[in-house]
Structure 1
């Protein structure tokens, strides 16, 4: 039985994506090459690793065992690289960081810039996801670190405080809500919205709260970032919801108003999570230190 690190990384990508095609893309392999590697692993083990279906693939019990062991092996390799980095500058580390929308857009750019500038041999794979999906990925060993809202159940993950975040409604200066200091989500659910694109962790979070109230948000347009959202709100297209820090920053250059949401879930503490911080590779631990500085 012979596996190389590329095989293990590929299998983790496939397991996470639920698709050989998407996993091959993440591993920068052609689909035919990725399929051949999976078949080779299955033939070497004498057992099926993936269950194929119409909606993609998922690991068999043997595949789940391989995910577990591959994660341990790759984490150990990354830790070795980090701890030898001071002696072998050619080695390169990589940190897989998952974040919710608020942290990715507002709180991560500055510390990430400092970290990446100070550590040119380390790369960071940053991906935005909803908090519950981040917890699952970190617990399953598919990411090194996560940044989530503290409203999600964290299970056995270790946590460290990161930032505080407050969700607000953003309106144009002429909107009837512009004179309000506070508002509830229920009061604004019937308004036309400028939303964030499908896949946005924040937008999914808001959609879930609307669904719990038996409502659906009416989007006039959905955009890829909070800057574009605020510009459309400024022109009276609709209202939007986003992090207070970002909204107040945009208010300095745009004709918008910021109204606090008073719902119990609107104030959020953002939390760093990992399976075990002490078990992270050295370069990942240094990233944690920078994020908390």
Structure 2
């Protein structure tokens, strides 16, 4: 069953005027055209909507029902038009940001909160992705900007370094690894690990490098966040690989030790990336400049 907005507006006008002639005038339609549209609407729904008389029209029970629904639909359409007009004029805007696991959990929240507080007309849609996927999405234009490992970004994307992200091994203070200052990843791939859930970008990143060594990490537990991972490591459940910024925060309240991972993939520069600042919306440009000012390269 198809409803035309012009027909719905006309029907509401006719119902309120109690006259097809009066409704046609309100809807700026010729009487013959308005009459044909009402008849077509009745044919589409398969029931009479109006009782026609010498003094005008009255609504049938079906007509009363349609009138209520039509008013709701037309109100929502006007609200939609007004909302989109606000986006078009810059008085309201939505920004799509893609970020890797550590970006969303550790590096970006404070800066993003400050920006949204200063720009109440802007809404933000943040989605977690792997760094390589973020680069592809930004290049394809499916997001405004991204937060990703700098080495995964193609030369075609503009970027600036926001922060460094060193991944470290976390272990209980009485674990045999706790006395080591640094370690190669290959020396621990056969240990029991504490990880994040399978869907996280960081977990996939670590898993790829284990696979290159011909190993598949054995997880005793997979937790929702870095704090829970460190708590498990402190309880001797297994070892964990987490961003240094999160590990140092947890070490202030947990009996854990941080061990540096010597592999180059464990030391990453994290960058804000985008296609072309000049063609981005003004709010997106403002967010880029805000993050540039908050960067800690």
- 8 Å contact from structure 1 (residues 151, 265) kept in 2: no
Structure 1 residue matching 2:152: 3-state secondary structure? coil
Deviations 1:191-246 (A, max 9, x none): 10001101111110000000111100000111111111111111111110011111
Segments of 4+ in structure 1 off by > 4 A? none
Q: Post-superposition shift, 1:160?
A: 1.4
* Alignment match, 2:273: 273
* Alignment match, 1:192: 192
Distance of 2:87 and 2:276 partners within structure 1: 18
Structure 2 residue matching 1:189: 3-state secondary structure? coil
Work out whether 1:160 is the aligned partner of 2:157.
Answer: no
Distance of 1:288 and 1:122 partners within structure 2: 13
- 8 Å contact from structure 1 (residues 138, 145) kept in 2: yes
- 8 Å contact from structure 1 (residues 129, 199) kept in 2: no
Query: Tell me, which stretches of 5 or more residues in structure 2 are unaligned?
Result: 1-82
Q: Post-superposition shift, 1:151?
A: 2.3
Structure 1 residue matching 2:221: 3-state secondary structure? strand
Structure 1 residue matching 2:272: 3-state secondary structure? strand
Instruction: Give the alignment's TM-score, normalised by structure 1.
Output: 0.69
Query: Tell me, which stretches of 5 or more residues in structure 1 are unaligned?
Result: 1-76, 86-90
Q: Post-superposition shift, 1:153?
A: 4.0
* Alignment match, 1:125: 125
* Alignment match, 2:216: 216
Distance of 1:135 and 1:127 partners within structure 2: 13
* Alignment match, 2:182: 182
Instruction: Give the alignment's TM-score, normalised by structure 2.
Output: 0.68
Q: Post-superposition shift, 1:155?
A: 4.3
* Alignment match, 2:69: none
Say which is worse superposed, 147-156 or 199-208, in terms of deviation. 147-156
Structure 2 residue matching 1:253: 3-state secondary structure? coil
* Alignment match, 1:105: 105
Work out whether 1:205 is the aligned partner of 2:205.
Answer: yes
Higher helix share goes to which structure?
A: 2
* Alignment match, 1:253: 253
Q: Post-superposition shift, 1:274?
A: 0.7
Q: Which has the larger radius of gyration?
A: 2
Q: CA RMSD in A?
A: 1.8
- 8 Å contact from structure 1 (residues 172, 235) kept in 2: yes
Aligned length: 211
Deviations 1:89-129 (A, max 9, x none): xx321110001112111110110110111111111111111
Deviations 1:62-98 (A, max 9, x none): xxxxxxxxxxxxxxx99x948x44xxxxx32111000
